[in-house]
C-alpha cells in the first residue's frame, strides 16, 4: 500500500469513528421518546396558553430538560411527582424519602433552567 492509499484509509477510518461518536452522542441527547416529549408539550401548553409562541417555548423547555436529565431519571421524578399527590401513607412515602426528594430536586432544577432559557 502506498502512502496516498494509507492516508486515504486512515482518513476514512477517522471519518467513520467521528460519525459513530456523533451518532452515539446524539442518541444520548435524544433518549426521550417522542410521545414523552409531546405529552410534556401538551401539559406545558395547557398551563401556559395554547399559542404558537407557547408551543415554541414548551418545545424548547423539554429539549433543555432532556439535555440535563436522562430519560430514566425524568420518568422517576415524574412518577414521584404524581405519586406524591396521593393522600395517605402511600403518598407520604413519595413525599418523604431522600430518593424521592432528590429526584424531584433534579427535575425542578432542570425545569428552572428550561424556564430561564425558554420563557
Query: What stretch of H or E contains 50?
Result: none
Q: Mind listing the pLDDT tens digit for each residue in 91-102?
A: 777 777 888 889
**pTM given for the model:** 0.70
Average pLDDT, whole number, for the chain? 80
- pLDDT-derived band at 89, boundaries 50, 70, 90: confident
Average pLDDT over residues 49-62: 96
The pLDDT of residue 7 is: 37
Stretch 67-77: mean pLDDT, rounded? Answer: 95
> What cell does 91 get?
403518598
Where would I find the H helices in the chain? Answer: 3-29, 34-48, 52-68, 71-83, 88-96, 98-118
Residue-range domain boundaries for the chain: 1-30, 32-118
- Which among 69, 46, 76, 73 is positioned nearest to 58, based on CA atoms? 46
Amino acid at each position: 500500500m502506498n502512502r496516498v492509499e494509507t492516508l486515504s484509509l486512515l482518513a476514512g477510518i477517522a471519518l467513520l469513528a467521528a460519525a459513530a461518536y456523533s451518532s452515539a452522542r446524539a442518541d444520548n441527547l435524544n433518549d426521550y421518546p417522542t410521545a414523552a416529549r409531546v405529552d410534556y408539550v401538551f401539559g406545558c401548553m395547557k398551563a401556559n396558553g395554547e399559542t404558537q409562541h407557547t408551543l415554541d417555548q414548551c418545545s424548547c423547555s423539554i429539549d433543555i430538560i432532556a439535555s440535563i436529565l436522562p430519560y430514566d431519571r425524568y420518568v422517576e421524578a415524574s412518577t414521584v411527582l404524581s405519586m406524591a399527590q396521593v393522600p395517605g401513607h402511600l403518598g407520604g412515602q413519595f413525599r418523604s424519602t431522600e430518593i424521592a426528594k432528590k429526584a424531584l430536586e433534579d427535575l425542578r432544577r432542570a425545569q428552572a433552567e428550561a424556564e430561564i432559557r425558554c420563557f
